[in-house]
Amino acid sequence: MLKDDYKQRGLRNKLVKKLRLKGIQDERVLEAINKVPRHVFFDDALLVHAYEDKAFPIGEGQTISQPFTVAFQTEKLEVKPGDKILEIGTGSGYQACILLEMGATVYTIEFNKVLYERTRDFLPQLGYRPYFSYGDGSKGMPAKAPFDKIIVTAGAPFVPDELVSQLAEGGILVIPVGDRERQLMVKIKKKDGQLLREEFDYFAFVPLLGEQGWKKKG
Catalytic residues: 65
First to last CA, the chain: 33
Q: Give the range of 12-20, 136-144, 157-165, 181-189 binding ligand SAM by CB under 6 A.
A: 136-144
Residue with Cβ nearer ligand SAM (102 or 209): 209
Cis peptide before 146 (omega within 30 of 0): yes
Least CB distance from residue 148 to ligand SAM, whole Å?
18
Query: Is residue 65 near ligand SAM by the rule CB under 6 A?
Result: yes
Query: Is residue 140 near ligand SAM by the rule CB under 6 A?
Result: no
* β-bridge partners, 108: 87, 132
Query: Is residue 73 near ligand SAM by the rule CB under 6 A?
Result: no
Q: Which of 8, 63, 74, 166 binds ligand SAM (CB under 6 A)?
A: 63
d(CA 125, CA 54): 25
| Widest CA span in the chain | 51
Mapped onto helix, strand or coil, the DSSP state of residue 51 is: coil
Q: How many residues does the chain have?
A: 218
For residue 153, CA distances in Å to 6, 8, 11, 47, 54 come to 30, 25, 25, 23, 15
Query: Is residue 88 near ligand SAM by the rule CB under 6 A?
Result: yes
Residue with Cβ nearer ligand SAM (16 or 115): 115
Contacts of residue 35, defined as CB under 8 A and 6 or more positions apart, other chains included, come to: 101
The answer to whether the CB of 91 falls within 8 A of the CB of 115 is: yes
Q: Give the range of 1-9, 77-85, 162-170, 204-212 binding ligand SAM by CB under 6 A.
A: 204-212
Q: Give the range of 20-28, 42-50, 109-117, 176-184 binding ligand SAM by CB under 6 A.
A: 109-117
Q: Which of 95, 106, 118, 160 binds ligand SAM (CB under 6 A)?
A: 95
Query: Is residue 138 near ligand SAM by the rule CB under 6 A?
Result: yes
Which chain residues interact with ligand SAM by CB under 6 A?
62-65, 88-89, 91-92, 94-95, 109-112, 115, 136-138, 153-154, 205-206, 208-210, 213
